[in-house]
């Protein structure tokens, strides 16, 4: 990786931690630059301003989640469990989404950077509904939203318990089983 790409990635990594911890308003460009061992001029040259830096960080985190968890409409329980596991190793995405909701977008669509992937998922759900693998009683968008939110039951945005990778395996196994069974009963 050349120096410019390495610096840009260090800035993104530092910004991810800063925004996840402090939100958009609380994040400080000085702390991001210092943590990345870069100067503020480089940050502004790459990203323009703090708002666009947040957008880039959030989009990168969301894109990683979309690509790391394969989606198949004929295995919604497996997809939900995959999201649960991804959030254990990538809790910053949920924190970033929470900050975005609190500080920017109180209603409506939050993630719009990958509309093609969302459309593909909705089409797959509609086909699974036609084949009888997914209940046809619900709109595909509602199925996707509810399955995704069930997977986030133990995420950093939870009102009850936030799961971490350090939790006992038995707790993760119990949650995965409960999640898969709930999704199966609700949608399949």
What is the reported pLDDT for 113?
54
Mean pLDDT of the region 68-77: 91
What is the reported pLDDT for 1?
60
What is the reported pLDDT for 186?
96
∠ CA 113-114-116, nearest 5°, is 145
Mean pLDDT of the region 29-44: 93
**What residue spans define the domains of the chain?**
1-53, 69-187
67 and 114 Cβ atoms separated by less than 8 Å? no
What is the reported pLDDT for 109?
59
What is the reported pLDDT for 64?
80
Query: Each residue of 108-145: pLDDT tens digit?
Result: 555 555 677 788 899 999 999 999 999 999 999 999 99
Under CATH, which number does the domain 69-187 receive?
A: 1.10.357.10
Find out if CATH 3.40.50.720 is the number for domain 1-53: no
- Distance in angstroms (rounded) separating the CA atoms of residues 182 and 89: 23
Q: Tokens 């699974």 appear where?
A: 128
pTM of structure: 0.82
């Amino acid at each position: 990786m050349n120096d410019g790409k390495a610096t840009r990635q260090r800035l993104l990594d530092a910004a991810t931690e800063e925004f996840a911890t402090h939100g958009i308003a609380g994040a400080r460009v000085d702390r991001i630059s210092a943590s990345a061992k870069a100067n503020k001029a480089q940050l502004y040259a790459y990203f323009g301003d703090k708002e666009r830096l947040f957008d880039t960080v959030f989009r990168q985190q969301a894109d990683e989640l979309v690509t790391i968890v394969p989606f198949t409409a004929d295995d919604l329980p497996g997809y939900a469990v995959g999201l649960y596991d991804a959030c254990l190793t990538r809790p910053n995405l949920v924190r970033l989404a929470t900050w975005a909701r609190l500080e920017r977008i109180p209603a409506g669509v939050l993630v719009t950077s990958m509309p093609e992937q969302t459309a593909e998922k909705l089409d797959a759900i509609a086909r699974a509904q036609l084949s009888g693998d997914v209940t046809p009683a619900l709109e595909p968008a509602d199925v996707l939203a509810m399955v995704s939110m069930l997977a986030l039951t133990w995420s950093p945005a939870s009102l009850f318990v936030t799961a971490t990778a350090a939790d006992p395996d038995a707790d993760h196994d119990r949650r995965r089983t409960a999640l898969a069974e709930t999704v199966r009963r609700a949608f399949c």
